[in-house]
């Protein structure tokens, strides 16, 4: 479609002068309004005032400019079916609309008062945009300055015309633009009235390999306006990503992204079954793997620092005996060094992903549950206090780094969650965890059994008998619970295994009984004041 007349009316004037110059080059008549007209005339560009089309002046402080029979007809009439009627009515077609709307989102972000918000609700703009979009068969509509360059290439390639495919693409962008605009206004007005609503927009639906099970189809969308999401992962090698992969990747990334040093998480079914942080990345991987070598089979492994060749050689992907090669589903890190990537490519199916998790910024979590949407703040606070509630000598400051490591671990484990963490010089590691159990005592039993296996792997029978070796190691670990202990039984179990320090939120009506049991058994207990349920 050859463009002969264009209507320009924008709040965001970025690039509008340059665009107008391009339009003038193709002898396109420019119609404009208010501030847009002034910007163009100040740049020496000839413009037809909108009043010459509407046959009415701008009125009411600019509230009335473009809304008119003449403007909307010029956009809406069918160029084939309605051309004779348009001629009789004196309607000249408008072939291009360039319009972005009053900056409601901007004034809202600046905490503008209610009256200012109301004044920044655009009426004429959405009407023009929707009219042009509806008649995209003949009319081009541009709603974002980011599209001007693409449009310029389009008309330059065709001597001032646009293709049907381009107009259809801009049509979908226009309807999304007005939908998002109205959704934000409605949500804000609801909030002002105390009737909270949530209207979110997602785009770019990408087909995943399958859902939670192979017979389920699955898609992944990106929330509009959000960057640095899993949608932006750079897949360097391997099979397509599945629904479960995304969930496990989220669990792995969240487990390491707030940890100091070189951190590594081994995740299975969204739970970190191995986690370590320290100076050396290879050592962190080895200790994370040792947390649960059996569960590490088919796991997702995340690193918070660039991944090196020395580290990935731990997987023994080129071992002469295939049984010795470690099977993992995904490796993800902020950057994969070239020689590390070459080594990982020895496994043709292994998904190798680059993703800078440090740039993730989300203030809330959403969960859709059978027609209900739940929203909550992201769990960012580790603890409110570190209060030693038992009669014992225990240095909170000396043990603070290990406690903080453990709290980062436990908040990423499904409730009821128990984790046992230890420290060796500057290395922190997870010895064992119990996750997703309906009974906290069972979670404690599981964590202790995994911790025993971890210590067993380090045991050298030439140095001591295992009981002595175990007792020496277990006394320095810390057991951390995501929620309070409702009864003393967890304390009694931990003490029977030689554990000497427990961290929990506190807040149970049985706190006194639990503390008394700790004092009787010689256990250090620290209250944090913050619960970390993860359902």
pLDDT single digits (tens) 58-93: 888 778 888 889 999 999 999 989 989 989 999 999
Q: Are residues 290 and 421 in the same domain?
A: no
Domain CATH code at residue 457:
3.40.140.20
Q: Are residues 39 and 184 in the same domain?
A: yes
Domain CATH code at residue 75:
3.40.50.1380
Q: Are residues 70 and 136 in the same domain?
A: yes
* The pLDDT value given to residue 5: 95
Q: Are residues 98 and 170 in the same domain?
A: yes
In the listed set 132, 165, 192, which residue is the last one of a domain according to the structure?
192
Alpha carbon distance 404, 389 (integer Å): 18
Q: Are residues 390 and 466 in the same domain?
A: yes
Question: Which residue intervals of 43-163 are DSSP H helices?
Answer: 51-54, 69-76, 83-89, 104-109, 114-119, 124-134, 148-158
Q: What is the DSSP string of 317-384?
A: TT-SSGGGSPPEEEEEES-B-HHHHHHHTTSTT-EEEE--GGG----EEEEEETTEEEEEE------S
Q: Are residues 485 and 338 in the same domain?
A: no
Q: Are residues 179 and 243 in the same domain?
A: no
The whole-number average pLDDT for the span 281-296 is: 93
Domain that holds residue 160: 5-192
Q: Is 428 part of a structural domain of the chain?
A: yes
Strand-pairing partners, residue 39, are none
Q: Are residues 259 and 122 in the same domain?
A: no
Alpha carbon distance 341, 330 (integer Å): 13
CB atoms within 10 A of CB 40: 22
Q: Are residues 156 and 241 in the same domain?
A: no
Tokens of 449: 């059994």
The whole-number average pLDDT for the span 265-282 is: 93
Alpha carbon distance 299, 331 (integer Å): 9
Average predicted confidence (pLDDT) for the chain:
92
Q: Is 449 part of a structural domain of the chain?
A: yes
Q: What is the pLDDT of residues 432-451, one digit of tens each?
A: 999 989 999 999 999 999 99
pLDDT confidence band for 533 (50 / 70 / 90): very high
The whole-number average pLDDT for the span 396-423 is: 93
Q: What is the pLDDT of residues 107-161, one digit of tens each?
A: 999 999 999 999 999 999 999 999 999 999 999 999 999 999 999 999 999 999 9
Strand-pairing partners, residue 354, are 234, 333
Annotated catalytic residues are: 134, 269
User: Which of 47 and 458 is assigned the larger pLDDT?
Assistant: 47
In the listed set 192, 215, 247, which residue is the last one of a domain according to the structure?
192
Q: Is 98 part of a structural domain of the chain?
A: yes
Alpha carbon distance 102, 87 (integer Å): 33
Q: Are residues 176 and 261 in the same domain?
A: no
pLDDT confidence band for 280 (50 / 70 / 90): very high
- Cis check: omega of the bond before 416, within 30 degrees of 0: yes
pLDDT confidence band for 358 (50 / 70 / 90): confident
Q: Are residues 349 and 411 in the same domain?
A: no
| Domain count within the chain | 3
Alpha carbon distance 74, 5 (integer Å): 10
Q: Is 10 part of a structural domain of the chain?
A: yes
pLDDT confidence band for 462 (50 / 70 / 90): low
Q: Is 83 part of a structural domain of the chain?
A: yes
In the listed set 129, 159, 192, which residue is the last one of a domain according to the structure?
192
Q: Is 492 part of a structural domain of the chain?
A: yes
Instruction: Give yes or no for residue 227 having a pLDDT over 90.
Output: no
Q: What is the pLDDT of residues 312-354, one digit of tens each?
A: 999 999 999 999 999 999 999 999 999 999 999 999 999 999 9
Q: Are residues 339 and 390 in the same domain?
A: no
The proportion of the chain whose per-residue pLDDT surpasses 70, expressed as a percent, equals 99
Q: What is the pLDDT of residues 469-490, one digit of tens each?
A: 889 899 999 999 999 998 999 9
* The pLDDT value given to residue 396: 84
* The pLDDT value given to residue 76: 92
* The pLDDT value given to residue 314: 96
The whole-number average pLDDT for the span 401-415 is: 94
Residue (of 120, 93, 83) closest to 31 by Cα position: 93
pLDDT confidence band for 282 (50 / 70 / 90): very high
Q: Is 401 part of a structural domain of the chain?
A: yes
List, in order, residues 6 or more apart from 376 with CB less than 8 Å away.
Answer: 364, 365
The whole-number average pLDDT for the span 380-393 is: 92
Q: Is 72 part of a structural domain of the chain?
A: yes
């Amino acid at each position: 479609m050859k463009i002969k007349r264009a209507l320009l009316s924008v709040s965001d004037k970025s690039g509008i002068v340059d665009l107008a110059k391009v339009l003038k080059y193709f002898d396109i008549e420019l119609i404009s309004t208010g501030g847009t007209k002034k910007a163009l005339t100040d740049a020496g560009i000839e413009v037809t005032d909108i009043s010459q089309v509407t046959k009415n002046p701008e009125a009411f402080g600019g509230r009335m400019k473009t809304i008119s029979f003449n403007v909307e007809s010029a956009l809406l009439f069918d160029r084939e079916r309605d051309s004779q009627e348009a001629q009789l009515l004196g309607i000249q077609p408008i072939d291009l609309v360039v319009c972005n709307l009053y900056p409601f989102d901007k004034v809202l972000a600046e905490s503008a008062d209610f009256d200012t918000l109301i004044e920044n609700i655009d009426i004429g703009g959405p009407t023009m945009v929707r009219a042009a979009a509806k008649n995209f068969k003949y009319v081009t509509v541009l709603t974002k300055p980011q599209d001007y360059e693409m449009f310029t290439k389009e008309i330059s390639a065709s001597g001032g015309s646009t293709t049907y495919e381009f107009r259809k693409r801009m049509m979908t962008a226009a309807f999304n633009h007005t939908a998002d605009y109205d959704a934000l206004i409605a949500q804000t007005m609801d909030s002002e009235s105390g009737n909270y609503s949530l209207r979110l927009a997602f785009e770019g639906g990408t087909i995943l390999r399958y859902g939670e099970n192979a017979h389920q189809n699955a898609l992944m969308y990106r929330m509009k306006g959000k960057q640095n999401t899993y949608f932006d992962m750079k897949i360097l090698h391997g099979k397509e990503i599945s629904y479960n992969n995304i969930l496990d990747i989220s669990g792995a990334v969240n487990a390491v992204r707030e940890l100091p040093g070189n951190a590594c998480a081994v995740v299975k079914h969204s739970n970190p079954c191995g986690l370590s942080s320290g100076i050396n990345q290879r050592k962190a991987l080895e200790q994370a793997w040792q947390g649960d070598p059996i569960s590490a089979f088919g796991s997702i492994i995340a690193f918070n620092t660039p991944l090196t060749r020395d580290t990935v050689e731990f997987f023994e992907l080129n071992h002469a005996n295939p049984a010795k090669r470690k099977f993992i589903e995904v490796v993800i890190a902020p950057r994969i060094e070239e020689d590390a990537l070459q080594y990982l490519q020895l496994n043709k199916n292994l998904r190798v992903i680059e993703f800078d998790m440090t740039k993730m910024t989300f203030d809330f979590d959403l969960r859709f549950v059978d027609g209900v949407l739940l929203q909550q703040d992201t769990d960012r606070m580790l603890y409110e206090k570190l209060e030693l509630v038992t009669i014992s000598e225990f240095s909170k400051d000396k043990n603070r780094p290990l406690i903080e490591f453990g709290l980062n671990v436990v908040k990423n484990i499904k409730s009821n969650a128990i984790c046992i963490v230890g420290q060796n010089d500057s290395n922190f590691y997870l010895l064992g965890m119990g996750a997703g159990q309906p009974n906290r005592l069972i979670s404690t039993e599981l964590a202790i059994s995994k911790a025993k296996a971890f210590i067993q792997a380090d045991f050298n029978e030439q140095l001591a008998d295992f009981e002595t070796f175990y007792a020496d190691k277990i006394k320095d670990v810390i057991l951390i619970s995501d929620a309070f202990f409702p009864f003393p039984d967890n304390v009694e179990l931990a003490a029977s295994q030689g554990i000497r320090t427990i961290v929990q939120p506190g807040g149970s009506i049985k706190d006194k009984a639990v503390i008394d049991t700790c004092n009787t058994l010689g256990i250090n207990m620290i209250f944090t004041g913050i619960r970390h349920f993860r359902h």
